[in-house]
């Protein structure tokens, strides 16, 4: 019989970041995970972006999340001996003179000046002509596959991973099969819908598809952004994403492929080759805020979910927030407490 402080269900982005931060506090953990179809983390482009949307609005509480994000992923890179976290400038393509003017006005505002750099002329012959490019600072991307695969090996080497589908019917108070735990934290992404202990939760999950393309010539050393993102993976490969559909069908589609190819063609002049296509389900919530907190019935069962489309920037801050709630008795932010959402 093994006894641990926390049993974590799911090793996507949520479960991985939580596992790391729990261990950093000196807590013992065990993770149960099996790769299930539709998982979001292995499909995502992994971009974090200080401003988003057509109207260029600052991402919710980005200033607060940013420092925790940089600290956590840089520590993880060192722990795992990899380079998965990249602070990379984002080049936002501006189509019209009006877009350029708006950019120049907005970047002088207090809230924006540390993120929005000057707009410049597009002088890259591989790109379709645009009026300008607005350069965004404090953005970048996390190579999700590299990070999650390396973290999985780390867990395996430390005998902290059980590779099986979690069977909810085997859970008895503080015991799961031959494991005894003090707390259990569920991080199953959109599959929380199968969890009988949080059956009140109704996610607003969205399907997303991405493609990986190959381009000839010198690599871009920036992320291209224009109603989509093109992230440089290195060696001439780029991740392009993402589509958005309000369903949880996990198959890749021909319409998803066409949409993404058209987006690339609206930005890049040189020929490209699609070498991969994937689909995943974002664990979205209608109000676009995470879902964390304790079960209504069982006081040592917790949830860490609802990372939606911004998992990379949200996960470190809210994993720490949940641990402070559990272990330091800190109050949970009302706007992320899962109990705000009922079916
Ligand atoms: C197409 C797409 C593009 C995206 N792009 C970005 C982006 O650029 N930037 C960004 O920040 N975010 C992005 N996201 C969102 C991001 O991927 C998610 O917020 C994040 O990955 C969610 O992580 P998670 O761990 O909650 O869920 P998941 O990644 O789904 O992980 C859940 C894990 O739990 C396992 N699991 C579930 N149930 C069980 C069970 N019963 N037993 C055992 N294991 C189980 C699953 O197999 C999986 O490994 C994107 C998402 C998609 C789909």
One CATH from 3.40.50.2020, 3.30.2010.10, 3.40.50.720, 3.30.9.10 for 206-282: 3.30.9.10
Judge whether residue 219 has pLDDT over 90. Answer: no
Under DSSP, is residue 23 helix (H, G, I), strand (E, B) or coil? helix
pLDDT by residue (tens digit) across 283-297? 999 999 999 999 999
Instruction: Ligand 1, residue 32: give the atom nearest the CA.
Output: 43
CB 153 within 8 A of CB 82: no
Q: Pairing mode, if any, of strands 206-215 and 237-241?
A: antiparallel
- Its pTM stands at 0.96
- Token readout for 174 is 């503080």
CATH topology of domain 2-43+145-201+287-340: FAD/NAD(P)-binding domain (3.50.50)
> What average pLDDT does the structure give for the chain?
94
pLDDT digits (tens, 9 = 90+) for 2-11: 899 999 999 9
Q: Which two tokens stand for residue 243?
A: 């589509």
Cα 100 to averaged position of ligand 1 atoms, centre (Å): 35
Q: Which two tokens stand for residue 286?
A: 């209608």
For CA atoms 157, 160, 166, 172, the dihedral sign is positive
Q: Write out pLDDT tens, residues 250-267.
A: 999 999 999 999 999 999
CA of 282 to the centre of ligand 1 (A): 6
What pLDDT score was predicted for residue 140? Answer: 97
**Domain boundaries defined on the chain:** 2-43+145-201+287-340, 206-282
CB 307 near ligand 1, within 6 Å: yes
Q: Report CA(249)–ligand 1 centroid distance (Å).
A: 15
């Amino acid at each position: 019989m093994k006894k641990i402080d926390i049993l974590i269900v799911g090793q996507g982005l949520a479960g991985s970041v939580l596992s790391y931060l729990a261990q950093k506090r000196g807590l013992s953990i065990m993770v149960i995970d099996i790769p299930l179809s539709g998982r979001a983390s292995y499909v995502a482009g992994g971009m974090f972006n200080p401003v988003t949307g057509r109207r260029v609005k600052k991402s919710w509480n980005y200033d607060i999340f940013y420092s925790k994000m940089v600290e956590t992923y840089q520590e993880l890179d060192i722990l795992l001996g990899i380079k998965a976290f990249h602070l990379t400038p984002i080049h936002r393509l501006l189509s019209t003179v009006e877009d350029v003017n708006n950019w120049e006005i907005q970047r002088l505002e207090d809230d924006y000046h540390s993120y929005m750099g000057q707009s410049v002329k597009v002088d890259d012959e591989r790109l379709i002509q645009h009026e300008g490019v607005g350069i965004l600072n404090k953005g970048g991307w996390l190579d999700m596959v590299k990070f999650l695969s390396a973290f999985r090996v780390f867990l395996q080497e430390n005998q902290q991973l059980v590779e099986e589908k979690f069977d909810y019917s085997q859970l008895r108070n503080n015991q799961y099969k031959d494991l005894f735990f003090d707390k259990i934290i569920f991080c199953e992404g959109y599959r929380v819908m199968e969890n009988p202990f949080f059956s009140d939760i109704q996610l607003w999950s969205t399907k997303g598809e991405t493609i990986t393309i190959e381009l000839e010539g010198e690599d871009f050393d920036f992320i291209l952004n224009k109603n989509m993102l093109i992230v440089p993976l290195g060696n001439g490969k780029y991740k392009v994403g993402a589509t958005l559909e309000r369903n949880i069908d996990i198959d890749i589609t021909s319409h998803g492929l066409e949409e993404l190819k058209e987006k690339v063609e609206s930005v890049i002049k040189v020929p490209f080759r699609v070498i991969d296509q994937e689909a995943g389900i974002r664990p979205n919530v209608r109000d676009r805020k995470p879902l964390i907190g304790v079960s209504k019935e069982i006081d040592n069962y917790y949830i860490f979910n609802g990372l939606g489309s911004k998992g990379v920037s949200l996960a470190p801050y809210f994993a720490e927030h949940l641990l402070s709630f559990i272990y330091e008795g800190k109050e949970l932010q009302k706007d992320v407490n899962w109990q705000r959402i009922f079916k």
